[in-house]
Structure 1
Amino acid sequence: MIEHKPLRLLRHLAWIPAIWIAWELLHYEQYKLLGNPGSVFLFTVLTDWLGFHGYEKAMRLGVGAMEIAASILVLIPRTQGFGGLFAMGVMSGAIFFHTVSPLGIDPYSDGGVLFKEACLTWAAGLLVAVLRRDQLVALFNRIAGRDAAVPA
């Protein structure tokens, strides 16, 4: 099967947002995994608001684990599209909680840097998913029982 040059170019372009996603998510792991006071504060506000008092660490580490998984998946060519969707899902949670919880869009009074980065990372995940949609269609076909190979 001959691959068209535009499709090959799109696959290469997917690396730009994929690298952003991985860098952005992995950069913040140092704060989540090591229990930085700012990160502990954010997740304490969330768990208290949700009624899960005392479960800040579990939520913080759980979110951190999902972000690491999304970072890995988006950097593996065969799973890049799914990694983009996974990153969108994680960032959808961040955007949701920043907009509806007492956390607010600007919890650190820094102009809402975390919220803006979450929105940009969500958009990067969407871009990866769109650019690698052939991969996602093949994956969903395979899950649905249709015989289709997942493109690399």
Structure 2
Amino acid sequence: MSAPQRYLPALLSIYIAFVFIQSLFFKFIDAPETQLIFGTLDAWAAGVFGVEGLFAPGGVFSAKVIGSLELVAAIALLLGLFVPGLRMLNALGALLAFCIISGAIFFHLFTPLGIVVGDEQVAGVRQGEVATEGGLLFFMAVGVWIASAILIGMGRDRLLSLIGRN
């Protein structure tokens, strides 16, 4: 087994788990950044589809629901990486991460959320300065999307065996 085949899954899995886990604190305490993001998405959904509350606390796609799914994906990725009998979980975690992050990228690109998320109130900026996160959330999402796609490709045989196609 070559070095990339040996270490790439670990690097990609740890990257995805890191991105997901570091954001959990913000999602679970309903931080101002989280309120801005999910509030923007909720207002968009209400305006476009006439459905209020999808992204609000208690909604189907609330920050806590998404955060919980991210936590499950991170745990599956890491268990599948470090527990030999659970290798299948790595591929399943990558698939879940891919689905979650595809949604995040969609919402960044096709809603008022945008690529660069920012707000003076959230950033704590005074006197009219404009502050954003500079697109960091979007670019981390793209990194997770690429990493999870690679892991899905590397684990495709395991995933196909789940549906009886080897």
Q: TM-score category by the smaller chain?
A: 0.7 to 0.9
Q: 1:121 to 1:9 in 2, by over 3 A?
A: closer
The match for 2:94 is 84
CA contact (8 A) 1:17 1:125 kept: yes
For the 8 Å contact 1:11–1:132, the answer to whether it is kept is no
Q: 2:116 aligns with which of 92, 106, 110?
A: 106
User: How many residue pairs are counted as aligned between the two chains?
Assistant: 138
Unmatched segments (≥5 aa) in structure 2: 81-86, 119-131
* Pairing 1:37–2:40 present: no
Give the residue type in structure 1 aligned to 2:144. Answer: T
SS of aligned partner of 2:30: coil
Alpha-carbon distance between aligned partners in 2 of 1:31 and 1:103, rounded to the nearest angstrom:
17
SS in structure 1 opposite 2:94? helix
Query: In the aligned structure 1, how far is the partner of 2:117 from the partner of 2:4?
Result: 40
> What is the identity, as a one-letter code, of the residue corresponding to 1:69?
V
Q: Deviations over 1:10-62 (max 9, x none)?
A: 25421110010001100000000011111111101101111144552231111
Matches within 5 A, 1:37-76: 37-51=32-46, 52-54=51-53, 56-58=56-58, 59-76=62-79
Name the TM-score, length of structure 1 as normaliser.
Answer: 0.82
CA distance in 2, matches of 1:80, 1:118: 19
- Alignment root-mean-square deviation, CA: 1.9
Sequence identity percentage: 31
Q: Which amino acid aligns with 2:77?
A: V
2:18 corresponds to? 23
TM-score (norm 2): 0.76
Give the AA of the match of 1:121: V
Inter-partner Cα distance in structure 2 for 1:140 and 1:10: 25
Aligned-partner Cα distance in 2 for 1:27–1:63: 13
> Following TM superposition, by how much is the alpha carbon of 1:65 offset from its aligned partner in structure 2, in angstroms?
0.9
Q: Which runs of 4+ in 1 moved over 6 A?
A: none
Q: How does 1:9-20 map to 2 (within 5 A)?
A: 10=5, 12-20=7-15
1-structure distance, mates of 2:133, 2:39: 19
The letter of the residue matching 1:57 is P
